[in-house]
A and B are shown apart, each in its own frame.
Chain A
Amino acid sequence: MSESTVRHEPAAGEPAVVQPLLELRDLDTDIALRRGTVHALDGVSFEVMPGETLGIVGESGSGKTMTALSIMGLLPHGGRVTGGQILFEGRDLRSLPADEVRRIRGVRMGMVFQDPLTSLNPTMRIGVQVAEPLRVHQGVGRAEARERAIDILRRVGMPRPDRIVDNYPHELSGGMRQRVAIAMALVCSPRLLIADEPTTALDVTTQRQILELIDDLREEFGMAVILVTHDLGVIAGRADRVAVMYAGRVVETAATATLFRTPRHRYTEALMEALPESAIREGGENARLYSIPGLPPDLSRPLTGCRFAPRCRHVTDECRTTDVALSAGSHQYACLHPVPAASAAPVALPAPVRVEATPEPAQPTAAPDEPAGTPVLSVRSLVKNYAAHGRGVLRRGAGQVSAVADVSFDVGPGETFGLVGESGCGKSTVGRLAVGLERPTAGQILVDGTDLASLTGRERRRMHRQVQLMFQDSYAAMNPRMRVDAILAEPLEIQKVGDGAARRARVASLLDQVGLSRRVLERYPHEFSGGQLQRIGLARSLALQPRLIVGDEPVSALDVSIQAQVLNLMRDLQRELGLAYVFISHDLSVVDYMADRIGVMYLGKLVEVGPARDVVRAARHPYTQALIDAVPSVTPSAATARDGVTIRGELPSALNPPTGCRFRTRCPLAQEICETEPPLAGDRHQVACHFPLRPESSGTPVEAGTAA
């Protein structure tokens, strides 16, 4: 392949380009599926200026990824751009010959995808994959391609790039693979980088590193970036301008600060109010989240009027019939009843949040900091090791993976205990141990004061009724061939509760509790949306009237608006039934909203435990602080001005965890003494650190923390 004609290096003397680098005009995209054609994009228009970062934000099904794929010409099987123009550097990609478009795609554009674990070819060496565009589009020789691959890997912050080039993807961690993907996208120095949820599959501390990397590279390469994400916080900190998408359309675009300060479209407004962050800021942890009712529309049907109308609080008849175009100007929105501009608060906060009145006085059944009576769940010096072994028949032990190392905590009746940490920290293992799915290597689990290990057979099974589990992916956790009635009745049958009639009555009342119609009883799991499945999952875990539910990332797979519905439901049920929760999540803002007390885990250890407010706003462990700092916030000022504790690098292997404090290998404060293990010390707000960031606060929680 010859030197491409479109490749013209940006010369220093070139006059400043004023025209947009990319301009979409009325883009329509259809996806033909067996059940009909989905009109994934309907008249999408926006511009990206050279060197600018445009954030595209929206929930699943909003068309944000389809927009990115349409630009790149990478639509899935059955997908087709049916109308409009994609002007890149002034030329319409839709009217250029296919070979030309391929070359533009390979050289002038680059794309980074969501899941770094599956986005690289598993059987090709890193260096070959990274250098492939050079070899194909620029006819670079093998040796030079390798050198340039090493060079670009170095520039994306890859340690020892000269070794990495010869590795295969599976030998790298998720964060490292995403760096490889970025290197691959940048190897031809593109003018436009499209990053589609580049950090969604990564932990927050890694997310922060990757987002910063993209920012730095944007300046270094002078390229424009389209950052596609569902996470308003990610956009807030990184984008110059934002386009909000809903149901295949752009509903609002504005400069980032403007959008977050004064959203005009009612959907944007509702989306921001649904964030746990907003509720906490406005009304404390006891405020109810605003949840957008209903579901996004089915895009395979013809739609008229504003697509958000069926879920909007401010809807009028006009909204349902009139197709509103985007308004003109720099802040464009397509809404007949926009948020009044005057009501904009002058602070760097989203629009005034109308916190819904809590139905009952927001008094948790137990005081958050002092669990009354016997704890429902008491975990004592819990240890879980997994044998690491080979695949042969002999399966000789090759060391142990220390998944949970000496973890203790209590959960009082009606209390919510939040467990946070990055993937691999052991939080899910603690959950599985607590519900008895696995046996601990050492330590005790007491349910209502009774040691589970002391029970056998029937008694043990009865005790397990008290503690139930709720999963992240309820669909995967349900038998697809069972109807909802069978799914909900199964726990009752296993535990031989009541007769057939009693079980049916119980199942019906469970559905009432979780706010689902009784008509769903005869339906199968695949007929439900993610939010509905979480409700069914919650109903199943409630079937045996437990006193404690362990929720393992129960809302992590849900969109913000749906997440708010499920979180509200969980809180309502807690109040009604006096339930206690162990709420396991990687999402600190959700845990902050839900939990009375929070435990922070790192590599199998509990490094900090305390009242939720204190832990989040006055963290004592450097790891906790780093975690808090890494969480993207929708408050742009907070997102940009951060210089707290930054941690670099990756989680060490749990196969041979560091001695002493397990965080010391990444801790900026680490000293020699950290080689000895710090005990979990303190009164209400405990920390396992030789150099806690601050002393334990006495009495009232610290209000103005460093987190904001």
Chain B
Amino acid sequence: MKKIYMIAVSVLLSIAAAVTALPAGAGASPADNGTFTVGFDAEFPPYGYKDDSGEYVGFDLDLAQEVCNRRGWVLAKQPIDWNSKDMELKTGSIDCIWNGFTINGRENDYTWSIPYVDNSQVVVVKAGSDIDELEDLKGKVVAVQADSSALAALTSEDAEEDDLALAASFADLQQVGDYNSAFLNLDSGAVDAICLDIGVASYEIESRKGFVMLDESISTEQYGIGFLKGNTELRDQVQETLLEMAADGTFMETAEKWGLSSSVCLDKDTVIQDDTSDPSKEEEPLWEKLLYIVKSLSEGLLSSLAIFFLTLLISMPLGLVVAAGRMSKSKLLSAIVSIYISVVRGTPLMLQLLVVFFGPYYLFGVRTTSAYRFIAVIIGFSLNYAAYFAEIYRSGIQAVPRGQYEAAEILGYSAPQRFFRIIFPQMVKNTLPSITNEVITLVKDTSLAFAVSYTEMFTIAKQVAAAEATIIPLFTAGVFYYIFNALVALAMNKIEHRMSYFR
């Protein structure tokens, strides 16, 4: 068995290495096919987002369109998962990242255009809250977007002393997947403040009601267009046209249209400076990187394990109760339970988690706390798995021959004795293969907790993958899940073997 794991692990790792080693510089010029593919996070207004009519629009996309018009290229707007941006760029599926993309802290990771937006990181709180200045954030729960400039400003190695101290004063710094989720969290009270870019903050405050921005800001940062490292040819082409646009006023017109005139930093007099990147910076050795990845994932694994074991602990007995309700002689009870089972099985678990987490606030006005996040995950998972276990139990119970009930009846067993002494052991044996399936699915499903921004192993894998600009963490997470499941399968096999003493 051990040998198989070793082989599986080495195969996965070599695939990972092969993928990351793909040749750089593919898709050097859009001129090849005349298409300029811009990668952007479609949930990042006003730089790039989906508007009410379903079109991808935004300041950056307008700029990209104008560049294409002037260069005679066709613009392809490619919304991407922000965590996967580097893989998209490396594999050549996009030509650049143009999406309020912060240069600071990433100077050496991309070939950058000159900065065209200067942005500050600010703090947004609920209107009427007791937070008026940065100092008031002490002991509060603050949200930032995963791998965002705000996160970097507060926690990265290059962060200012003041900002690090500020972050340390928070009760918790929550990473959320997107700003919509961040504002839902803020609105419901699960977090007390959000740190984000000023441009996004202004836009969000205007489109949502009841939020204000603090006067103090955390940091200042610059946006540029990020190209694959080494792709100066395309960078120069785009940059030349962008400067042209700045010179003839088109750039500022576009900025005004999007309400960004106060943060843009290109004007008629902008000239190209030297490349700011420092190509001499050494790469970390692979094993060190792997060690870091494994360490980070191990921390997340604890959260995944917590979800896994608590869910089993609650949903397995709960499933028995649900199964009893389903088989109840009361038509009403049976109908209610049937509806519950069909809703749980008929809708995505991710949606159920969102409903459990945000439901109390939006349905009943109950303020959500951050501690509720984990509880919501466990409630959501348990309710979901209980429904599946209930159906498995039901089939297992119905598979016990009628004669077993009658023999127990004749011998005078009471109903509970009959169930727990005679039927239950046979049911367990009948259902073990299906239960194994369900338990293995649960191992993988734990990753869905990211829907409510609960940081478990896969969320961390995505974050590390984004920060390290490599796909290895995702593969490593795959190996972790595989090993986890191999152990589960082994344990279930043991149990099945134990139950084989009778037929």
Q: Is this pair of chains taken from one and the same complex?
A: no
